[in-house]
Chains A and B, each alone.
Chain A
Amino acid sequence: MNVACGRIAMSTATESDSEFDQTLLRLLAGCAAQDQAALQSLYELVSPLLFACLKRMLRRRSIAEEALQDVFVTIWLRAGQFRPERGRPLAWLVSIARYRAIDLLRRERWAPALTADLPEQAAAAPEKEQWLSAGPLLERCLALLTDQQRQCLELAFVGGNSHDEVARLTGSPLGTVKSWIRRALQTLKACLES
């Protein structure tokens, strides 16, 4: 059954993602037209994913809850500016949340507790829900990276860690971490654009 499920997940990811995109587009158009029900539906659909991202990056639940409010206020106000021909709606929504978290990490005086983060990041994750498919392309490109490069990218993108924090978390020199990340991004770019 493993094999059958795996095959289905892969073969239908694109079709299902595009249907998912269509719904997000419709809801964003609703928000742009000041339809409050559209924002609520959008909230029901994507808030668990966005909240999980915010919680991971900001580490504190209460701050993540406030950030989630900011994010949906922003989505409501900016929905009219979203241009479907320029990109996928989920990337747009996730970016609003991630950039808000990075803003808060930059502006807040509190220092995030780093210690609790690493074990969770490093743990194998058999029980995690697969909300997003990496897609065969990114999966293939990620496979070109070293384990260290991949870990650094995930600590930065998913965990919201700066260069300094990634260096501390991995116990590697800052200069080394910067060059791992730079090279990882170069490799990904070459692979993704090929």
Chain B
Amino acid sequence: MNVAPDNPELIDRLAAEYVLGTLRGAARVRFERWRTTSNLVNDRCQFWEERLVPLLREIQAVPPPPHVWQDIRRRLNFSTAAPRRRNVRALALAASVLLVVGLAAFLYWRTLTTERATEVATISAPSGALMWQVEIYGRAGAARGLSVHAGAFAAPPEGRDYELWALPKTGAPVSLGVLPYRESVTRRALTGEQQQALDRSSQLAVSIEPPGGSPTGAPTGAVVFVVSLRVAT
């Protein structure tokens, strides 16, 4: 049958099993053909694709090995001279992606600390779940400290660690240390280099690194979050 049947209930049942993945073999091939020619089939597929995607919520993200991206570039004949502006653009884009003001958590957290934070940043997963609340204490020029509170969903990536970075407006990112996980809190004094970097930064980034943090002092893995520092109120 090359033309989709005019039976909405049948189409919907098949679309659900197609998206679920249990429609297999010749029936799947035929249904895929219908999808390219029938708006009804396509609409029902999209309905199920959107509704079932959240079933993946428990899956643990796994960063692919670096060679995969190089292989993709080769297959698409991308120029070998990768434009460096990418970094700036990727950071700018990522910055707009992932941020939520976790006001309640922030207020709650504030009640636990005696010293007032001067700058804060909230890092959230795409789902909106709070990952980390970062607070910086002390004014620019004075001795400063950093405290990071990990949310309930902040878990390490498979066999690696998340590392926090200050992103100075000019110059290289400066490590602020490996991030804590699952409701724990880290508090530490900042070194002179870290304080200077923070004075020139309006953003923080999080990258995926080998256990214990980047061995080189610069981010080596994917930058997964970029967030703006806000003045604490």
Contact = CB atoms under 8 A, between A and B. Distances in A.
Given A41-B90, A90-B53, A91-B49, A1 B62 contact: no
B124 interface: yes
Given A98-B21, A128-B58, A5 B153 contact: yes
Contacts of A88: 50, 53
Contacts of B151: 5, 8-9
A134 B125 contact: no
B50 A20 contact: no
Contact of B96 (A6, A19, A37, A94): A19
Contact of B21 (A10, A47, A160): A160
A73 B75 CA distance: 8
B232 interface: no
A40 B86 contact: yes
A15 B62 CA distance: 25
Contacts of A12: 100-102, 124, 128
A70 to B, nearest CB: 9
A156 interface: yes
Contacts of B152: 1-2, 5-6
A15 B125 contact: no
B98 interface: yes
B79 A36 contact: yes
B59 A158 contact: yes
B56 A132 contact: yes
Given A6-B152, A44-B90, A132-B56, A52 B97 contact: no
Interface stretch (B12-20, B135-143, B163-171, B186-194): B12-20
Contacts of A47: 63-64, 68-69
A131 B64 contact: no
Interface in A13-64: 13-17, 19-20, 22-23, 26-27, 36-37, 39-41, 43-45, 47-49, 51-53, 55-56
A95 B160 CA distance: 28
B105 A87 contact: no
Contacts of B69: 40, 43, 47
A27 B155 contact: no
Nearest to B79: A36
Contacts of A168: none
Interface stretch (B22-30, B113-121, B196-204, B210-218): B22-30
The size bracket of the interface on A is 35 or more
B85 A15 contact: no
A156 B21 contact: yes
A106 B55 contact: no
Interface in B57-74: 57-65, 67-69, 71-73
A36 to B, nearest CB: 5
B126 A131 contact: yes
B172 interface: no
A185 B97 contact: no
Nearest to A40: B86
B51 interface: yes
Interface in A113-148: 125, 127-135, 138
Nearest to A135: B54
Contact of A73 (B12, B16, B63, B76): B76
Contact of A26 (B93, B101, B104): B93
16 contacts: A2-B152, A5-B153, A8-B130, A9-B130, A12-B101, A17-B126, A37-B89, A51-B61, A55-B62, A65-B65, A102-B21, A125-B60, A131-B127, A133-B129, A134-B55, A163-B22
